Amino acid sequence: MALFLPYLPLLLICFGPLAFALAKTSALERDMRIAVTENMLWVVTQTQKEVMALTLAAAAPDRQAEEIAQSFDLAVSRLTLLGQGPQQRYLAELGHADTLQQITTRILALDPEVQGHGPAQHAAIYEQGLALQSQFNRLANDVMMQEWEIAAERLDTYRSTQTTVIFAVAFAFLGAMGISWLFLRNKRRLNEAEIQRRRDSALLQEARDTSEMYRDFAAMVSHQMRTPLSLIDSAMHRLARRGDAVTASDVAERQGVVQDAVRRMTRLVETVLLVGKLDNRQVRGNLAPAALDALAQSALTEARGLHPGRDIRLSSTGSRIMALCDPLLVAHILENLLANALRYSPVETRVELRVFSQGGQVACAVTDQGPGIAPADQPHVFKRYFRGEAHRAEQGTGLGLALARELAELQGGRIGMDTWPGRGSVFTLWLPAASEGRP
The domain locations on the chain are 5-184, 210-277, 285-432
Lowest mean pLDDT of 192-201, 273-282, 417-426, name the range.
Answer: 273-282
Higher pLDDT, 175 or 106: 106
* CA 193 – CA 284 distance, rounded (Å): 38
Residue 214 is predicted with a pLDDT of: 61
Buried b (16+ CB within 10 A) or exposed e, 405-432: bbbbebbebebeeebeeeebbbbbbbbb
Higher pLDDT, 415 or 176: 415
* CA 96 – CA 268 distance, rounded (Å): 122
Over residues 135-165, the pLDDT tens digits come to 888 888 888 888 788 777 777 777 777 777 7
Give 300-308 contacts, CB < 8 A, sequence gap 24+: 300/338, 300/353, 302/335, 303/335, 303/338, 303/339, 303/342, 306/263, 307/342
Residue 185 is predicted with a pLDDT of: 85
Over residues 268-288, the pLDDT tens digits come to 667 666 666 666 676 777 888
Over residues 30-84, the pLDDT tens digits come to 555 544 445 777 888 888 888 888 788 887 777 677 888 888 888 888 888 888 8
Protein fold of 285-432: Heat Shock Protein 90 (3.30.565)
pLDDT > 80? residue 11: no
pLDDT tier, 355 (very low <50, low <70, confident <90, very high otherwise) = very high
Lowest mean pLDDT of 77-91, 132-146, 253-267, name the range.
Answer: 253-267
* CA 334 – CA 340 distance, rounded (Å): 10
Highest mean pLDDT among 70-74, 172-176, 262-266 belongs to 70-74
Residue 424: CA count within 13 A, CB half-sphere: 15
Q: Return the number of other C-beta atoms located less than 10 Å from residue 403's C-beta.
A: 21
Q: What is the mean pLDDT of the chain?
A: 77
pLDDT tier, 431 (very low <50, low <70, confident <90, very high otherwise) = very high
Q: Which residues pair with 416 in a beta bridge?
A: 428
pLDDT > 60? residue 436: no
Nearest to 406 by CA among 397, 415, 398: 415
H or E element that contains 394: none
Higher pLDDT, 186 or 272: 186
Residue 35 is predicted with a pLDDT of: 47
* CA 46 – CA 111 distance, rounded (Å): 20
Lowest mean pLDDT of 19-23, 71-75, 410-414, name the range.
Answer: 19-23
pLDDT > 70? residue 261: no
**307 touches 301 (CB < 8 A):** no
* CA 281 – CA 284 distance, rounded (Å): 8
* CA 151 – CA 154 distance, rounded (Å): 5
Lowest mean pLDDT of 23-37, 138-152, 192-206, 349-363, name the range.
Answer: 23-37
Higher pLDDT, 328 or 27: 328
Residue 46 is predicted with a pLDDT of: 83
pLDDT > 50? residue 439: no
Instruction: Give the residue-averaged pLDDT of 91-95.
Output: 83
pLDDT tier, 389 (very low <50, low <70, confident <90, very high otherwise) = low
CATH 1.10.287.130 corresponds to the domain 210-277: yes
User: Is the backbone of residue 396 left (phi > 0), alpha (psi -120 to 50) or beta?
Assistant: left
Nearest to 64 by CA among 104, 56, 51, 75: 56
Residue 182 is predicted with a pLDDT of: 78
Q: Return the number of other C-beta atoms located less than 10 Å from residue 274's C-beta.
A: 18
* CA 146 – CA 380 distance, rounded (Å): 98
Higher pLDDT, 215 or 299: 299
pLDDT > 50? residue 236: yes
How far, rounded to the nearest angstrom, does the alpha carbon of residue 200 sit from its chain's CA centroid? 22
